[in-house]
């Protein structure tokens, strides 16, 4: 059974990168302008009734206690209702889900979902890496972001014979796609050898197995499906979504070859959308590290458990493969401005569904695109959103 | 007063004296000294030696009535040094004892204090731990020989394989080697000749000649600079002292030296005399073994086990070489509520065993409900100290004060509990399936105080099943 009460009529983002010259507010304004400009039949910004803003770590740009009120003023919309959504790496995709529910509830007809993250105002040492000293004083000591995923690589390699070359092939493919995405942080192609020879960050992951720290913002305009044609003749609909949690500490995990939160979130999203993995035409998945994409494409049901590495190196997830994954360049090449990431992934899905992805356009046989994030302490939260061109 | 068992511990690293000499433009430099890694100190060494002594005694930790700890320099200048060590060893919260410190003589003070407590009947089982890891002033003459180590001994009133005999103390109010108020490192002697001729040798002769009237089979004598020990031995006609092997392996272990030098000699019947010196005092004590004391046979192997290290790494571990600028503070300060709530479960390695499904949840304080079945009924239990690596990483990218490489492992313990802990060493030999044991280590030194927790350490191949 489909669930088509919410339409996406506009989406846009700013060029991701190290945006030292732009403030948080300027990035947000740029993304909002891009989303407004993307609406086929025009969009009056003052029609936005409420906004949901995703920012994961305000502390990275000096706003430790950011609430909902920074964004409306930055967009010239002071006075509207606005709420911040924070749910770790899936903050952007969860803000989208919350926005969709706000429309579906009938309370609002026109909703802005915007994700903004400043990752580079603080130095690398003082920024995200400083989490090595946060959390439990003993059981998390030294746990930087790569520590949350590298143990899965070690174990996946041990159990399934996944190789560093297979991991590297994910980065090579995503950089290839990113070089064809004008919004991507990195615009260069790389080779498997480049990845293998890059410096070790967190064994067995090396530098090019890891996404960069990127500033960025992305925005989407959601409306009541009944009013979609006021804005465009090519609306995209929300087919379904799923959110799930898992234990927050690594030592509580039952498996180090699968992320349970992803598996559960996907089951819920597929069920709500009434589709199965074989009907998905392309997917934007959480590739914060190369191993993460391999886990994702297995946990989302695109490949059998243990086969993700082979599928990747054999090109099954390339633009012309059986299931193109991370056509935008993914987190590895496009970047991972945390709150903006999910919204930007959904924007890529929106473009692919509307046939607007240019050089990156893949064949949309069934009219379904899937977006996925996983993150938080112990990768304990995942969000999956499914978009479609189908109204019924 | 009888001896039930002994134990010893040495830190992970050995620093060649030549490296220190070269750094200061001196030629030569003989031998080596045992030095702590950044995650070791007097408390972690003490805990390891105590664990071995108690293990050798066959006793359960909860029947120990008191802990007497002697160290020149406790890890908290003012603070819960004794309480943290007692908790880490697993002693009862009702246990007593004393912390003796302030000079290298503290080791003998702890030993005599415990003996007196047992003698008076106020303690039935006394645990004595002596440990030291003095921080020598950079560039001092004794830096090359300044070592680290620990020894422990379990005392009871009677029925042990060895007994404590005569004791002699001499005291002289001279300033020898010392650390000034508020100073981070121990100063050199003002005048080595003055110390040798007017302080050290006369005091040693005084004490030693008293003991030498007994039939001494083996001696443990101080050797603060690598040469004085030989002179003292000649004076007393002691031959090669039993303690010389300890000084060769570890250097001067300060408050631990006397007992550490004697512990190995208790491997067979005979009379052992030990002299501890420091802070203007010297104390001699005789131990007579009727038969081999449990734990004594393994002392030599423990001392021989160490990895070479560099002077730079040693200075960094001693906090004498520090990165410029601010380092990242721990999210949970050492004095905060989380460490008050969590102290027992962190130091005692506690888990919460689910009454309904048997899953062990660690640590208990963050698990009001079982991760497997959701039940809220638990029994607190110490978790196993051995297991195998399920998966691991080696973190190479962290801000100061972290030092790379930092291995972290998910460990499946033999009782079924699963923990994630840092791993001792570089991780170069770490594999899925590596057998590990959990050992107390200093995780952090912040706001002037240490924070302790357990790390996984690979079990040497010959020990693994």
The secondary element (H helix, E strand) that includes residue B115 is: helix B106-120
Model confidence at A265: pLDDT above 70? yes
Sort out which chain A residues have CB atoms less than 8 A from B338's CB and list them. 136-137
Sort out which chain B residues have CB atoms less than 8 A from A126's CB and list them. 328, 399
Looking only at the bridges linking them, the beta strands covering A50-54 and A110-117 are parallel
Q: How many residues does chain B have?
A: 465
Q: Which of B392, B397, B415, B440 should be substituted to probe chain A, the one whose Cβ sees the most A Cβ atoms within 10 Å?
A: B397
**What pLDDT shows up at residue B72?**
97
Report CB contact under 8 Å: A130, B330. Answer: no
Q: Among A318, A287, A332, A292, which Cα is nearest to A188's?
A: A332
Model confidence at B246: pLDDT above 50? yes
Sort out which chain A residues have CB atoms less than 8 A from B328's CB and list them. 125-126, 129-130, 132-133
| Tens digit of each residue's pLDDT (9 = 90 or more) over B363-379 | 999 999 999 999 999 99
**What pLDDT shows up at residue A62?**
84
Cα dihedral across residues A20, A24, A25, A26: positive or negative: positive
Q: Which of B395, B400, B446 should be substituted to probe chain A, the one whose Cβ sees the most A Cβ atoms within 10 Å?
A: B395
Q: What does the pLDDT average to over B27-31? A: 89
Model confidence at B49: pLDDT above 90? yes
Q: What does the pLDDT average to over B371-398? A: 97
Report CB contact under 8 Å: A256, B391. Answer: yes
Q: Give the confidence band of B46 by pLDDT, cuts at 50, 70, 90.
A: very high
What SS3 class is residue A2? coil
Q: What does the pLDDT average to over A234-244? A: 97
Min distance A171 CA to chain B CA atoms (Å): 20
**What pLDDT shows up at residue A1?**
41
DSSP letters along A108-170, please?
A: -SEEEEEEEE--SSS-TTTTGGGGGG-SSTTTTTT--HHHHHHHHHHHHHHHH---HHHHHHH
What SS3 class is residue A259? coil
Establish if B338 touches chain A: CB-CB under 8 angstroms.
yes
Model confidence at B465: pLDDT above 90? no
**What pLDDT shows up at residue A126?**
86
Calculate the average pLDDT of chain B.
Answer: 95
* Catalytically annotated residues of A: 89, 336
Model confidence at A2: pLDDT above 70? no
Q: Among B177, B347, B149, B331, which Cα is nearest to B253's?
A: B149
Q: What does the pLDDT average to over A58-72? A: 86
Q: Cis peptide before B363, with omega less than 30 degrees from 0?
A: yes
Report CB contact under 8 Å: A125, B399. Answer: yes
**What pLDDT shows up at residue B460?**
83
* Biggest CA pair distance of chain A: 56
Do B131 and B53 form a contact (C-beta atoms < 8 A)? no
What is the CATH T-level fold of the domain B2-317, as seen in this structure?
Peroxisomal Thiolase; Chain A, domain 1 (3.40.47)
| Chain A residue nearest residue B426, CA to CA | A203
Cα separation, A113 vs A83, whole angstroms:
10
| Tens digit of each residue's pLDDT (9 = 90 or more) over A78-121 | 999 999 999 999 999 999 999 999 999 999 999 999 999 999 99
Please, which residues bridge with residue B228 across strands?
Answer: none
For chain B, residues classed under CATH 3.40.47.10 are 2-317
Looking only at the bridges linking them, the beta strands covering B270-278 and B218-220 are parallel
For chain B, residues classed under CATH 2.40.50 are 337-349+385-463
Model confidence at A4: pLDDT above 70? no
Do B163 and B19 form a contact (C-beta atoms < 8 A)? no
Residue ranges of B 341-400 with Cβ closer than 8 A to chain A: 342, 346, 362-363, 366, 371, 390-400
Report CB contact under 8 Å: A147, B393. Answer: yes
| Tens digit of each residue's pLDDT (9 = 90 or more) over A300-353 | 999 999 999 999 999 999 999 999 999 999 999 999 999 999 999 999 999 999
| Tens digit of each residue's pLDDT (9 = 90 or more) over A166-182 | 999 999 999 999 999 99
Report CB contact under 8 Å: B342, A137. Answer: yes
Question: Given 3.30.1120, 1.10.357, 3.40.1000, 2.40.50, which CATH number is that of B337-349+385-463?
Answer: 2.40.50
Q: Give the confidence band of A391 by pLDDT, cuts at 50, 70, 90.
A: confident
**What pLDDT shows up at residue A125?**
87
Structural domains of chain A ordered from first start: 6-124+211-388 (3.40.47.10)
Model confidence at A392: pLDDT above 80? no
Could you tell me the two tokens for B457? 């350490």
Tell me how crowded residue B445 is: count the other CB atoms within 10 A of its CB. 16
Do B61 and B91 form a contact (C-beta atoms < 8 A)? yes
| Chain B residue nearest residue A202, CA to CA | B395
**What pLDDT shows up at residue A37?**
98
Model confidence at B165: pLDDT above 80? yes
Establish if B432 touches chain A: CB-CB under 8 angstroms.
yes
Establish if B60 touches chain A: CB-CB under 8 angstroms.
no
| Chain B residue nearest residue A136, CA to CA | B332
**What pLDDT shows up at residue A378?**
86
**What pLDDT shows up at residue B462?**
59
Cα separation, A153 vs B424, whole angstroms:
21
A:B CB pairs within 8 Å = 127
Q: Which of A57, A125, A136, A137 should be substituted to probe chain B, the one whose Cβ sees the most B Cβ atoms within 10 Å?
A: A137
**Cα dist from A146 to A143, A153, A174, A200, A290, whole Å:** 8, 10, 18, 11, 11
**What pLDDT shows up at residue B163?**
97
Model confidence at B211: pLDDT above 60? yes
**What pLDDT shows up at residue A66?**
80
């Amino acid at each position: 059974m489909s669930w088509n009460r919410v339409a996406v009529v506009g989406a846009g983002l700013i060029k991701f990168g190290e945006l030292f010259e732009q403030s948080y507010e300027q990035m947000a304004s740029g993304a909002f302008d891009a989303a407004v400009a993307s609406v086929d039949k025009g969009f009056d910004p003052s029609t936005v009734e409420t906004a949901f803003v995703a920012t994961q770590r305000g502390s990275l740009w000096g706003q430790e206690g950011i609430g909902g009120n920074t964004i409306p003023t930055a967009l010239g919309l002071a006075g509207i209702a606005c709420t911040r959504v924070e749910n770790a790496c899936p903050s952007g995709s969860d803000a989208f889900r919350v926005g969709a529910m706000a429309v579906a509830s009938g309370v609002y007809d026109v909703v802005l979902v915007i994700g903004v993250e400043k990752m580079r105002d603080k130095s690398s040492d003082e920024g995200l890496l400083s989490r090595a000293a946060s959390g439990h004083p003993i059981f998390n000591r030294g746990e930087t972001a790569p520590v949350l995923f590298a143990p899965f690589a070690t174990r996946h390699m041990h159990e399934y014979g996944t190789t560093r070359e297979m991991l590297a092939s994910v980065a090579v493919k995503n950089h290839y796609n990113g070089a064809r995405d004008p919004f991507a942080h990195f615009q260069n192609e790389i080779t498997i050898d480049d990845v293998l020879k890059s410096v070790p960050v967190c064994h067995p992951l090396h530098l090019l197995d890891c996404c960069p720290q990127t500033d960025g913002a992305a925005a989407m305009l959601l409306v009541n499906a009944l009013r979609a044609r006021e804005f465009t003749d090519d609306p995209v609909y929300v087919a379904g979504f799923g959110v799930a949690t898992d234990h927050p500490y690594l030592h509580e995990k039952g498996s180090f070859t699968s992320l349970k939160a992803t598996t559960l979130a996907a089951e819920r999203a597929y069920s709500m959308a009434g589709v199965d993995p074989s009907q998905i035409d392309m997917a934007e998945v959480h590739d914060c590290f190369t191993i993460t994409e391999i886990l994702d494409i297995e946990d989302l049901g695109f490949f059998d458990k243990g086969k993700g590495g082979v599928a990747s190196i054999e090109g099954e997830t390339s633009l012309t493969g059986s299931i193109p994954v991370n056509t935008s360049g993914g987190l590895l090449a496009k970047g991972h401005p945390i709150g903006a990431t999910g919204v930007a992934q959904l924007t890529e899905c929106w473009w692919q569904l509307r046939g607007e992805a240019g050089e990156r356009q893949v064949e949309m046989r069934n009219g379904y695109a899937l977006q996925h994030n996983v993150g938080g302490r112990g990768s304990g939260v995942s969000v999956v959103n499914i978009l479609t061109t189908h109204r019924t | 007063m009888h001896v039930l068992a002994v134990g010893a511990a040495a830190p992970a690293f050995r620093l060649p004296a030549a490296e220190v000499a070269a750094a200061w433009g001196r030629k030569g430099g003989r031998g080596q000294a045992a030095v702590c890694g950044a995650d070791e100190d007097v408390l972690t060494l003490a805990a390891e030696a105590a664990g071995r002594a108690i293990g050798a005694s066959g006793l359960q930790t909860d029947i120990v009535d008191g802990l007497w700890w002697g160290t020149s320099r406790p890890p908290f200048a003012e603070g819960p040094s004794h309480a943290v060590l007692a908790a880490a060893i697993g002693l009862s919260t009702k246990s007593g004892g004393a912390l003796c410190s302030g000079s290298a003589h503290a080791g003998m003070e702890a030993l005599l204090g415990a003996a007196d407590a047992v003698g008076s009947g106020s303690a039935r089982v006394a645990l004595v731990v002596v440990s030291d890891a003095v921080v020598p002033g950079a560039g001092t003459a004794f830096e090359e020989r300044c070592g680290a180590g620990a020894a422990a001994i379990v005392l009871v009133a009677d029925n042990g394989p060895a007994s404590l005999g005569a004791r002699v103390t001499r005291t002289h109010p001279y300033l020898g080697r010392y650390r000034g108020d508020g100073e981070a490192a121990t100063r050199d002697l003002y005048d080595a000749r003055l110390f040798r001729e007017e302080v050290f040798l006369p005091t040693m002769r005084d004490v030693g000649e008293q003991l030498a009237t007994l039939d001494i089979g083996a001696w443990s004598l101080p050797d603060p600079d690598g040469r004085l020990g030989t002179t003292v031995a000649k004076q007393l006609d002691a031959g090669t002292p039993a303690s010389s092997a300890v000084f060769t392996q570890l250097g001067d272990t300060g408050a631990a030296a006397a007992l550490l030098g004697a512990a190995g000699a208790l491997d067979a019947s005979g009379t052992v005399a030990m002299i501890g010196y420091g802070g203007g005092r010297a104390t001699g004590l005789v131990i007579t073994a009727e038969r081999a004391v449990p734990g004594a046979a393994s002392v030599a192997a423990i001392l021989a086990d160490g990895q070479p290290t560099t002077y730079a790494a040693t200075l960094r571990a001693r906090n004498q070489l520090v990165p410029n600028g601010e380092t990242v503070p721990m999210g949970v300060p050492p004095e905060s509520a989380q460490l008050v709530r969590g102290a027992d479960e962190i130091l005692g390695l506690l888990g919460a065993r689910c009454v309904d499904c048997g899953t062990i949840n660690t640590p208990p304080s963050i698990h009001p409900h079982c991760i497997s079945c959701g039940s809220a009924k638990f029994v607190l239990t110490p978790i196993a100290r051995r297991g195998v690596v399920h998966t691991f990483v080696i973190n190479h990218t962290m801000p100061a004060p972290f030092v790379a490489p930092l291995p972290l492992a998910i460990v499946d313990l033999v009782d079924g509990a699963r923990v994630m802990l840092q791993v001792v060493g570089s991780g170069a030999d770490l594999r899925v399936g590596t057998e590990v044991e959990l050992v107390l280590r200093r995780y952090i030194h912040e706001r002037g105080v240490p924070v302790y927790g357990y790390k996984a350490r690979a079990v040497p191949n010959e020990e693994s099943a």
